[in-house]
Structure 1
Amino acid sequence: MSDDPQLAHCTARIGTVLRGKWRIDSLIGVGGMAAVYEATHRIGRRCAIKILHPEIAVSKELRARFEQEALAVNQLGHPAAVNVVDIDTSEDGSPFLVMELLDGESLGKRAHRSGGIEERELLRVASTVLEVLDVAHGLGIVHRDIKPDNLFLTSSGGVKVLDFGIARMRQGGSNVRTRIGAMLGTLPYMSPEQIAGGEIDGRADIFAVGATMFRILAKRRVHEGSTESELLIKMATQPAPALRTVAPSVSPEVCAIVDRALAFDLSRRYPTARAMREDIERVLGASAAPHAPTPASFRADVSSAISVDGPTMAAPAPGQAMQAPMVVSVPPQSVATSPQAGSNSPFLMIAVIGSFVVAVLLAAVLFVVRSRGSAEDTRESADDETSQEDEASGSSRTMATSSGTSTPSSTAGPAPTSPTAAPLPARRPAPNGKYRLLMKDGKYPFCVTSKLKYAYPVRTNAEGVKVCSGTPDGPIPIDGLKAYHPSELQWE
């Protein structure tokens, strides 16, 4: 018997019959919100049934979001979206969806099992996903949780997009209310605007497709962090690294596509799923107008190991994988047969020397920038020590607190406070120097601890005061807190 009560409860359903017609045959997997089973209808039809956990089913909002999956897929009507054929409630009151039973595995599991995803195969998968998203976005549906484990590769060679349960819908989903500032999705694949809890559109899904491709090709996440808070801050404030810098074996054309999909600035990201798909089809050989820069030549080699994120719902978490090699033909020009080979040698030597000089200059610039950053860190540490001494000597004033229940607000905050500004206001937060405001686009979406170990959302309490919500010290008024700017972030 399993030591996990939830798993034991889910396993106990095997052999039972739902609503007198669906016999539960086996447990496929268990996720945070639901369990997925293989079942057989009394007329012999096999299917997959997703049953919401009882403790989740007590929430009206989560029940509505679960049922919304059927509504979203029904509106979509795309063959590459998993088909939902029925929705009902079990005898114990748990909602369930009846879906087509898929034969195959998730993209993440494939990357683990087969030693990687060949570059062109990944492009074909992404093209199908973007086709589904193009239709969804046209209907006002944003998926919000595209990731390797929600992309299913069927044994017949098809692709299915799973889990529209947290999709944002323009129509038909009015019974689902997402609180301002709430984050729905899987953190390593969420766009900066999605993390900040602001308004999102289809470009959030485009970012997630880019993050999924980045993960498979680079064998790492877009950003890495030792804690969830550190990862959250990086995803919300730092642009993705250029794919070419972490995966030099990936073809430059594919790197250009992924880099544009992951653009931090919305205006530089692909405007639509269709535009990104056209670039992918162009690389695969279709004739479509390019939307991303086109390098002259490219290649792809074997890369290092990768671990892919586990699922939100049901699929088992995949482990590490290797990318299979891909060779792209580029017309060679032999030195022996080229009539200009001899005359180009001096120019080649000049180019090599010039590249070396540029590298030296860049290293010097980097050294100067780091030196200045170290000096800023030293001054910041001195400020913190002075603040702590002030508190020890009794100079800090009592923190103003509110007993009202905090409610969500927009990410907008007060004007940034300069580290070298005049003395702090009379109402000084305590403990002094422990919390800072993380600045993004002139706003403060998060409060962070001085070592950036923990992040807390900025909310407005019942009295209209902006506070760091959820801190161990209670609601901390953000007035007077120093600001962190993304360019000054230093990690332990």
Structure 2
Amino acid sequence: MSDDPQLAHCTARIGTVLRGKWRIDSLIGVGGMAAVYEATHRIGRRCAIKILHPEIAVSKELRARFEQEALAVNQLGHPAAVNVVDIDTSEDGSPFLVMELLDGESLGKRAHRSGGIEERELLRVASTVLEVLDVAHGLGIVHRDIKPDNLFLTSSGGVKVLDFGIARMRQGGSNVRTRIGAMLGTLPYMSPEQIAGGEIDGRADIFAVGATMFRILAGRRVHEGSTESELLIKMATQPAPALRTVAPSVSPEVCAIVDRALAFDLSRRYPTARAMREDIERVLGASAPPHAPTPASIRADVSSAISVDGPTMAAPAPSQAMQAPMVVSVPPQSVATSPQADSNSPFLMIAVIGSFVVAALLAAVLFVVRSRGSAEDARESADDETSQEDKASGSSRTMATSSSTSTPSSSTSTPSSTAGPSPTSPTAAPLPTRRPAPNGKYRLLMKDGKYPFCVTSKLKYAYPVRTNDEGVKVCSGTPDGPIPIDGLKAYHPSELQWE
């Protein structure tokens, strides 16, 4: 017997009858919003029934989003989207959907069970998913939660796209509103713009398809983090690594497709699901994809120049750098008049000397870059100390200004159970106004010249930047209350460290 009360509640439904016609036979699975059962209609028809959890059903917004799934799938009418045949409410007031019963397993479960999925099979799955998304995007529907567990592989070899429950709909779903800044989806598969809580379009689903393919082919997520906050910051600020750098056995054509789907810059990502699907179909047909030309970093032509400009590319080993100079042309008369070794000896010597010179130059460049980075770190550390002293010397003035411009009604108390680091004690006697944030406690995370997040030391916590009722940008949700970002230092995500 499970100690989980939610699981126990879901299991207790087995054997009951919904609305006098659907008998619950077994529990298929339990998710965060709903439980899915196998059921039989009184005329003998088998189906799957998805029942919203009672604690979720009390929210009108979540009920509407749950019911929206039936509306979205009905508008699609695509055979690869799971079919919803009925919608009703159980005797205890929980909404439920009646869907076709699928025989098979999710893409995530298949990959875990078999230790991976063959490259061409994954391409065929992605092609079908993109076909469904192309239709959905044409209707103004953005799925927003494409991931391995929402892609179902049937025993007959088909593919089904599941869970349109959080889809954003341009028409027919106006009763569902998402609060500004709210994130809907699964973090490791969410696009940077989706994480930022801004407006999204079909390219967010394209990113999720790329992240799903990356996860299956590389055996890891696009970004890894020890905490959810760290993962959120990386997904929101750092481009995805080139697939070939973590999965060198994947073909260059597939790497190019996944890399473009995961492009951090929206203008460089696939513009439509159809464009990405066309590239996949060309690879399956053994022709090169025109929408995602193979980048220099994954070309197989060893005679071409090796680029080391990209941050994810490794410098060539000395033996690799020697290959191009060693391919030389020998005049015909030298072959007839002298031994091969004698004619090649000067060129071989030049090649060896050139290789050492190139290696020395690369080492010098690396030394200069590291020295400059160390100097910048030292300057930043000195700036931090100066900032701490300036803030300490001006703290009394700041407290006085805050006291003169606030009223007792604006005072806040420090939450005792809010997640996040505990604020330090103020250096002055408590005032009836909100005290400023402790010196050096928060920094602003920069992205495209904007500050979508405030972060704490060691990236332990992240808080969104919002505009309050007075039009002031603040770090919202912190234990210290809304902290004005004016005066906070910028934090550059490329450093990946606080100090």
Q: TM-score, normalised by structure 2?
A: 0.80
Distance in 2 (alpha carbons) for counterparts of 1:218 and 1:80: 26
Check conservation: 2:442, 2:454, Cα contact below 8 A.
yes
Distance in 2 (alpha carbons) for counterparts of 1:443 and 1:232: 16
Deviates more, 1:315-324 or 1:149-158: 315-324
Seen in structure 2, the aligned counterparts of structure 1 residues 433 and 145 have a Cα distance that, compared at 3 Å, is same
SS of 1:457's partner is strand
C-alpha displacement at 1:467, in angstroms?
A: 1.3
Seen in structure 2, the aligned counterparts of structure 1 residues 361 and 219 have a Cα distance that, compared at 3 Å, is farther
Distance in 1 (alpha carbons) for counterparts of 2:325 and 2:155: 22
SS of 2:326's partner is coil
- Which structure has the larger Rg? 2
Distance in 2 (alpha carbons) for counterparts of 1:218 and 1:295: 19
Aligned to 1:347: 347
Gap regions ≥5 residues in structure 2: 405-411
Seen in structure 2, the aligned counterparts of structure 1 residues 423 and 217 have a Cα distance that, compared at 3 Å, is farther
1:388-424 CA-to-partner distances (Å, cap 9, x unmatched) read 4566667455569999999999999999999999999
Seen in structure 2, the aligned counterparts of structure 1 residues 8 and 357 have a Cα distance that, compared at 3 Å, is farther
C-alpha displacement at 1:463, in angstroms?
A: 2.8
Seen in structure 2, the aligned counterparts of structure 1 residues 310 and 240 have a Cα distance that, compared at 3 Å, is closer
Deviates more, 1:6-15 or 1:391-400: 391-400
1:359-379 CA-to-partner distances (Å, cap 9, x unmatched) read 664454344333333333333
Seen in structure 2, the aligned counterparts of structure 1 residues 483 and 309 have a Cα distance that, compared at 3 Å, is closer
C-alpha displacement at 1:464, in angstroms?
A: 2.7
SS of 2:359's partner is helix
C-alpha displacement at 1:443, in angstroms?
A: 1.1
Check conservation: 2:87, 2:97, Cα contact below 8 A.
yes
Aligned to 1:223: 223
Check conservation: 1:418, 1:483, Cα contact below 8 A.
no
Aligned to 2:417: 410
Seen in structure 2, the aligned counterparts of structure 1 residues 243 and 301 have a Cα distance that, compared at 3 Å, is farther
1:21-77 CA-to-partner distances (Å, cap 9, x unmatched) read 111111111111111111111111111111111111111111111111111100001
1:162-193 CA-to-partner distances (Å, cap 9, x unmatched) read 11111111111100111111111111111111
1:413-440 CA-to-partner distances (Å, cap 9, x unmatched) read 9999999999999999320110011111
Deviates more, 1:100-109 or 1:280-289: 280-289
C-alpha displacement at 1:451, in angstroms?
A: 2.1
Number of aligned residue pairs: 492
RMSD: 10.0
1:436-490 CA-to-partner distances (Å, cap 9, x unmatched) read 1111111111111132211001112233322111111111111111111333442
Seen in structure 2, the aligned counterparts of structure 1 residues 103 and 238 have a Cα distance that, compared at 3 Å, is same
SS of 1:180's partner is coil
Aligned to 1:157: 157
Gap regions ≥5 residues in structure 1: none
Aligned to 1:390: 390
Aligned to 2:488: 481
SS of 1:402's partner is helix
1:342-388 CA-to-partner distances (Å, cap 9, x unmatched) read 99999999889877765664454344333333333333333334444
Check conservation: 1:424, 1:480, Cα contact below 8 A.
no
Seen in structure 2, the aligned counterparts of structure 1 residues 79 and 201 have a Cα distance that, compared at 3 Å, is same
Check conservation: 1:112, 1:319, Cα contact below 8 A.
no
SS of 1:417's partner is coil
Return the structure number with greater relative CO, CA threshold 8 A, min gap 6: 1
SS of 2:274's partner is helix
Distance in 2 (alpha carbons) for counterparts of 1:65 and 1:438: 32
Seen in structure 2, the aligned counterparts of structure 1 residues 434 and 411 have a Cα distance that, compared at 3 Å, is closer
1:247-280 CA-to-partner distances (Å, cap 9, x unmatched) read 1111111000000000111111111111111111
Q: TM-score, normalised by structure 1?
A: 0.81
SS of 1:310's partner is coil
SS of 2:327's partner is coil
1:141-166 CA-to-partner distances (Å, cap 9, x unmatched) read 11111111111110000000111111
Distance in 1 (alpha carbons) for counterparts of 2:169 and 2:417: 20
Distance in 1 (alpha carbons) for counterparts of 2:258 and 2:77: 28
Give the fraction of aligned pairs with identical amino acids, expressed as a percent: 98
SS of 1:307's partner is coil
Seen in structure 2, the aligned counterparts of structure 1 residues 318 and 383 have a Cα distance that, compared at 3 Å, is closer
Deviates more, 1:20-29 or 1:421-430: 421-430
Deviates more, 1:26-35 or 1:309-318: 309-318
Check conservation: 1:36, 1:48, Cα contact below 8 A.
yes
Deviates more, 1:340-349 or 1:274-283: 340-349
Check conservation: 1:144, 1:167, Cα contact below 8 A.
yes
Seen in structure 2, the aligned counterparts of structure 1 residues 222 and 296 have a Cα distance that, compared at 3 Å, is closer
SS of 1:401's partner is helix
Seen in structure 2, the aligned counterparts of structure 1 residues 215 and 463 have a Cα distance that, compared at 3 Å, is same
